[in-house]
Structure 1
Amino acid sequence: MHCQTEAAPRACVDVHALEAVALAATRSAAVASYDWVGRYDQKAADAAATKAMREALAQAPGRGTVVIGEGEKDDAPMLFNGEIVGTGNGPDFDIAVDPLEGTSFCAKDLPGSLATIAFGEPGTLWSPGPGFYMDKIVVPPQAKDVVDLDDPPERTLANVAAALGKKVSELRVMIMDKPRHKNLIARVLRAGAAVQTPAGGDVGGSLAVLLPTLDVDLLLGVGGTPEGVMTAAAVRALGGGMLGRLAPQRDEEADAIRAAGMSLDRVYECDELAAGDAFFVATGVTGGTLLDRPRKCEGKTTCESLLISRGEIRYLTHTTFE
């Protein structure tokens, strides 16, 4: 993210200041939703996270536009598409957001729920309009040039394995455990690869591909477009590979996409989903292999966050006092 150069520039982007705001937003959302962990009330958890994140984003030094939010897809409390946040005194920037990724995990106190957000330069984060779902491939940098969404999964596995210097039998593939993926999972298993099948949370699944310590080689399957855009910000920042294509799950969604003049066949590359400098932030809500959950002890709350920006992965621990 850099200085804007149009005839009447608003301001230069202070990336560190925006990173601090993004971290404050995800931490606030994580702490607020944590009060609803294990209470089997997804909408209440979502509402708490959204309210806390909106309040934190109101302090952003500039004018942020929510390009894509999660609530419209899930009929949940949301930061809505087109919403403007921030003080207005500073740079413009785009936001892709899911205040509570993995609401069912939060409601049932299962690992994997996160508060997530991505910031990008104005006009650079892709807006899918009425498209709520997309087919995705996410791979590490070594395999970014060998994948094609039109390839059968067997060919994708062979190409990725060769790029990574592995056998197909050594690959670990992340695919969400959804009815729509039954055939895909079966084909990947028959090809000889191992499969991880979380019930949801494809942002976390994509991050597992990008983070070398988590031993996942690629992500396949259909997930949400908000998660896809946030993932693209992280993939771009780390030089990985990603492809996406709209994959409506209902006739009404497909009709709305066509009515908006968008193609159901076009494949988007990572630098189209996140077309400029961007960064990604997540804070743990229910723990797991990626990030720990908030810890409350003796009047203190400690959160663990992840910041992916400009080729770097940073883990940050933050403690607040009541």
Structure 2
Amino acid sequence: MLSSKFNLFWIALLTTIVSCRKEAFDAYYGRPDWLASPIYQQLDSMGDFKTYLSCIELSGYKNTLGTAGSWTVFAPTDQAFDQFMQENGISNVSKIDAQLAEKIVRSSMIYDGERLEKLNDYFSAKGWQQGFAFRRRSVYYDFVEKEDVGNGKIRRFISTNRGPNIAYAISDNNNKHISYFFKDYMSQRGLGAMDYQSFYPTSVYTGLNIGAAQIDPKRSNIAAENGYIHVVDKVLVADKSIDQYLRDNKSYSAFKSILDFFSTYTYNAEITRKNEVLTGEKDSVFVKSYTGIGLAVNNENYAKEDPNDAQTNNISITVPNNEAVSN
């Protein structure tokens, strides 16, 4: 009897000690009451992001946006998706497949959680430079692309991610960038609505634009555990590179045929193997570059002299249409 009481005493004491230690552990390491919920949970609680949340789930990014990390998300509302689907002939949400959902979600995400007022600052290797940036690297990138080379043959290639005549960097995914047009940046350079609408003629310039979209000033800088949310009125999809645009636009096919004289394709064994693992395709993959013209029109990273140089620079070219080339 005495032994039984003795054992009960030590069990109770041990339980008390463990409980106290757990309370101390939770008090020190537990989630603070004031900490905002992650991005996915916040969007879910707002109520008008059902289609975007569906795309997040379909693309496999629910865990990424629902847990840790540091992201800036430009979240399109359900109304923005209604417009997007109408413009693209998509009858309903079920017609958005995993590939498109992934492109939409990854195009809406940029690395590091940033408030709007910090997006115009350039993260230079030489130091922080205020007011110099107009772009950020998105999570989206193209991998292996395909092109018809005639006679029923398809060539698989990946775009160069360095400047002309520089070796391809296997560790660089050549991520797409997303451009924004904020009043402070624009006005300091004598730019305004006319300049913005040269790129986006059907959009309204508010001085708080990202791509063709407007950022809602009343629903921006929403702090989350894993970054910031800025609500937008259009679905953002990564822009094509100059090379991709010319390939897809028949109005410039004559100029494109001239540009092709300067394109080179170099076999890459590592990318070939990676593509086989990911897709099951055993075909050779080449790195597509341009030599002799001083430009890499398929390089999303500008010159890559600085890890973040595309925040402040990119490439523009003047292209004649087919009639001009013919004349």
TM-score bracket, normalised by the shorter chain, equals under 0.3
**Structure of higher CA gyration radius:** 2
More helix by share: 2
**Alignment TM-score, normalising by the size of structure 1:** 0.25
More strand by share: 1
**Alignment TM-score, normalising by the size of structure 2:** 0.24
